[in-house]
Amino acid sequence: MGKKGKEIVKLDVDELLKTLNKAFADEWLAHYQYWVGAKVAVGPMRGAVVAELVQHAADELRHADMLTERIIQLGGKPLLAPSDWEKHTNCGYLVPSDSSVKALLEQNVEGERCAIVTYNKILEMTKDKDQITYNMVLEILADEVEHEEDLEALQEDMMAAKGMF
Ligand code: FE
Ligand code: FE
Ligand code: MG
């Protein structure tokens, strides 16, 4: 990467790259979990839930893209094999074997809560040390906070609808 661009990072760059690659693994797994969940979903309010899952799948892929750009900028390489994602992930992958919208929402909320904790830690790590990564992670964290809320709102809607029948 650029000489000055690297000099202004007041962190161990190798450690930072490891951290960013772990988040990168999370994003691919989250992307796929949403993407495949939207395909197999069944049950009440399927249309509304699928629309949200599809939107979130796109957001997670965009996050993976942002992380890759920064990893490469810092002189690193994104994890090159999908088998590495499961090895390095923080938040894991929850197999949507129960494809009811209720189960899918529960799994995805759990994933978002893990993402929020993970990105909050990276923010603390990069604060006043690497402004570029900090700003990027802040943007991603804001999306994850929104995702959690979106999913919780759907869960509430489902509960409310249930009471009407
Ligand atoms: Fe994400
Ligand atoms: Fe998310
Ligand atoms: Mg949304």
Structural domains of the chain, with CATH: 12-164 (1.20.1260.10)
CA distances (Å), 11 to each of 30, 90, 149, in order?
Answer: 27, 21, 33
The ligand whose atoms approach the alpha carbon of 146 most closely is: 3
| 43 CA from centroid of ligand 1 (Å) | 25
Helix (H) or strand (E) holding 70: helix 46-73
Q: What is the per-residue pLDDT across 112-155, written as a single tens digit (0 to 9) for each?
A: 999 999 999 999 999 999 999 999 999 999 999 999 999 999 99
- CA-to-CA distance for 35 and 108, rounded, in angstroms? 11
| 23 CA from centroid of ligand 1 (Å) | 8
Residue 21's pLDDT band (cuts 50, 70, 90): very high
Rounded to two decimals, what is the model's pTM?
A: 0.96
Per-residue pLDDT at 1 exceeds 80: no
